[in-house]
Amino acid sequence: MIHGPKSTQRKAAILRKTMSLPEVLLWKELRHRPEGLKFRRQHPAGRYILDFYCAAAKLGIEVDGHVHNTGDRPQTDTHRRLWLENQGIRVLRIAAARVLADPVATAEAIARYAKNPPLTGDGDHPKGGGGVAPET
């Protein structure tokens, strides 16, 4: 399993205590191990911290609010995704609005995606305001 330096681990511990509302709602569902998969929240990966991580599927899940579409954030997110992919981790981006609308269905869709990833393409392509497949 991928980890980060002590400084990143300390920051992840702080972030676990200050998660956004969409992250909290999604965590309430993912912690129940949908599809039998264990998810971690605010998981260090090198110098990055993934919102959620499933080691069994080597899948990082990022909950994206509107800020991910502004400034240099798209470029930063791309660099992050490429580094994670080089470590063997797929990245799935989910719009915060989608989580807020239906956290249960979103968690179920993430678990299905983790169990049966698509054969081609990656999960970092925005769809509808920063969210991506899987569709519910």
Give the tens place of pLDDT for each residue, 10-50: 666 667 677 899 999 999 999 999 999 999 999 998 889 89
Residue 71 C-alpha from the chain's centroid: 21
Task: Indicate the domain borders of the chain.
Answer: 6-56+78-115
Q: Is residue 97 pLDDT above 70, yes or no?
A: yes
What's this model's pTM, rounded to 2 decimal places?
A: 0.77
Predicted pLDDT at 135 = 39
Q: Is residue 125 pLDDT above 60, yes or no?
A: no
Q: How many CB atoms lie under 10 A from the CB of residue 51?
A: 23
Write 77-85 long-range contacts (CB < 8 A, 24+): 77/124, 78/124, 80/48, 81/122, 81/124, 83/46, 83/48, 84/45, 84/46, 84/48, 84/50, 84/60, 85/122
- Torsion region of 14: left, alpha or beta (phi above 0 gives left; psi -120 to 50 gives alpha): alpha
Predicted pLDDT at 136 = 36
Rounded average pLDDT over 122-135: 41
| Rounded Cα distance, 33 and 37, in Å | 5
| Rounded Cα distance, 90 and 31, in Å | 20
Predicted pLDDT at 113 = 95
pLDDT digits (tens, 9 = 90+) for 98-118: 999 999 999 999 999 999 887
| Rounded Cα distance, 123 and 60, in Å | 10
pLDDT digits (tens, 9 = 90+) for 72-90: 677 788 888 999 999 999 9
DSSP-assigned beta bridge partners for residue 55: none
- Torsion region of 117: left, alpha or beta (phi above 0 gives left; psi -120 to 50 gives alpha): beta
Predicted pLDDT at 19 = 85
